[in-house]
Amino acid sequence: MRLVFADHEPHLKPNPRRDHMSGVPELAYSTLDRHGGRVLAPGQVVRTAGQSSPVGTIYRYDRLLVDESVIQNAEARRKLEGAISPTGMSLESQAASVIVAGQGSYRVPVTSAAGDHAAVDAWALIQRLRTGSGESSLPGELLDKVRLEHLMICSKSGPGVGNGEPPVGGSHSFSLGRIPVDMVNPMPSRHSAERRMRVAVLDTGVPPKHPAFDVSDRSEGDDTFVIVDHAFQTKLGEHSDSPAIPLDDPWEGPVHEPTLVGEVASHFGHGTFMTGLLRQMSPDVQVYSLRVVHNDGLAYEHEVIAALHHVADQVEASRNGEAEAVNVDVVVLAMGYVDESPDDEPGGWIGDAVKRLAALGIPVVAAAGNQSSDRPFYPAAFSAHHLPEVAAPILSVGALNPNRHIAMFSNEGPWVTCYATGAGLVSTYPREAKGSRMPDRRARSSYLNRHRESHDPDDFSSGYAVWSGTSFAAPIAAAFLVNAMADAEPGGALDSAAASARAHEALKRLKKQLA
């Protein structure tokens, strides 16, 4: 495993020659429809006169994120609803939902007004609000509190979108997808520890049974390699408003794509693979697994924000002496989005959540994306935003091939902090995954009660796979960091300043060792 740091401080540098659809992931029409998603293509959308043309992104067309100060203020809510009324659309602010108190924004449904046949589109609604006049005009400070909800995609690499459907978007993959393998070497021994370093992985979850690691709920207080959070998942399910299956359990199918073909879902096992990399490189940590990504690789911005604030709440509660709270040392994210702002500088609620963790002294390690683009991919690109000196670092991680060259699929740019091995990796995979693809050749054995066959490309009963992506470079970088942090662990509880200092010191030593 390799880790290489960039030789510059991360910064944002707009590329005027960049294609407006650069960095937008390819998705099948059925996948977009499953999540109420739409691609914002600059040449196909309305835009406010005098405003710069947007750049491509993917968003939920019938949802908006609205600042909690608007939802909780009757007068501000009335102004917003009044401005929307003439557009033929309606904002169901009474149905606004927030998963974790204080997460900054509420997710609000957008519908067609009664008896009106106007097409529902959150982007078009925001543009009309910006051009309102008279009673329908809104002050700028209120307009700034109404935004799109982005669909975030996991950064694994594979041979296209599957399902035989045409993709929608502007990027390409340059890597073979996952294939089943067997693991020859045993997992490294896990030693007892009075205080475990803990890594939060926000992804597709892990199966309750796998030979490489044990799993328990955080309420049980067991020293398993993975702990899950049924209470958080239940809350996530209660607030689900998507046609997709709710993420109300730490682990659940479907294993297969929702078609008649029987292919293994494109991102099924994604979080399991990430967890297995940590098990190989940092066997003495504990993984706190929160399921926020669907098995087709998509996550909702609102739910990711909620999970980040939930982790921050747990850290604060643990430091305040609550015995059942989960203290976290590092957060790993493998999903992201490109923002529609032509300046590539979003802030908003997901930025607030990431920066809150950094302010608590918790480093956030995020995948840089797999679109072969230099366009900032968020939240990884928050690494290039200014942070207070007392905050922990935010690391954006690109992918290396085994020969240490940058993987063709990996994003890169001045906002990428480091690169770790992310191609041709072997790690854990759910054993229940078995797809419809068959071996090229198969015959009955003459001597044993089994078949002779060529390699079955989607039978993962071995529990291991080879896969590629910046998704998997991120936990490797996190493992390097958490191991270095563990070496400097002073023991006892840390406040935010001490936790941040520990992270920066570990990062400094890593850079020196790997130079």
- Cβ-proximal residues to 442 (8 Å cutoff; 6+ apart), any chain: 451, 452, 453, 454
Q: Which of 345, 425, 410 lies closest to 382, judged by CA?
A: 345
Return d(Cα 84, Cα 116) in angstroms, integer.
Answer: 13
Which residue numbers are catalytic?
203, 270, 471
> Measured between alpha carbons, how far is 219 from 176 in angstroms, rounded to an integer?
40
Pairing assessment for the beta strands 451-453 and 442-444 based on DSSP bridges: antiparallel
Are the CB atoms for 43 and 191 separated by under 8 Å? no
Q: What is the DSSP string of 232-286?
A: HHHHHHHT--SSSPP--SSS----B-SSSS-PBPTTTTHHHHHHHHHHHH-TTSE
Residue 87: exposure state from Cβ atoms within 10 A (0-12, 13-18, ≥19): buried
What whole-number distance in Å separates Cα of residue 475 and Cα of residue 282?
A: 10
- Residues, the chain: 515
Among 118, 125, 136, 127, which residue's Cα sits nearest to residue 53?
A: 127
Instruction: State how far the Cα of 227 lies from the Cα of 216, in Å rounded to an integer.
Output: 5
Check if the beta carbon of residue 205 is closer than 8 Å to that of residue 227.
no
Cα 37 from Cα 502, distance rounded (Å): 41
Contacts of 403 (CB under 8 A, 6+ apart): none
How far apart CA 166 and CA 448 sit, in angstroms, is 44
| Cα torsion angle, 158, 160, 161, 162, sign | negative
Helices 270-281 and 470-487, axial angle in degrees (round to 10) = 30
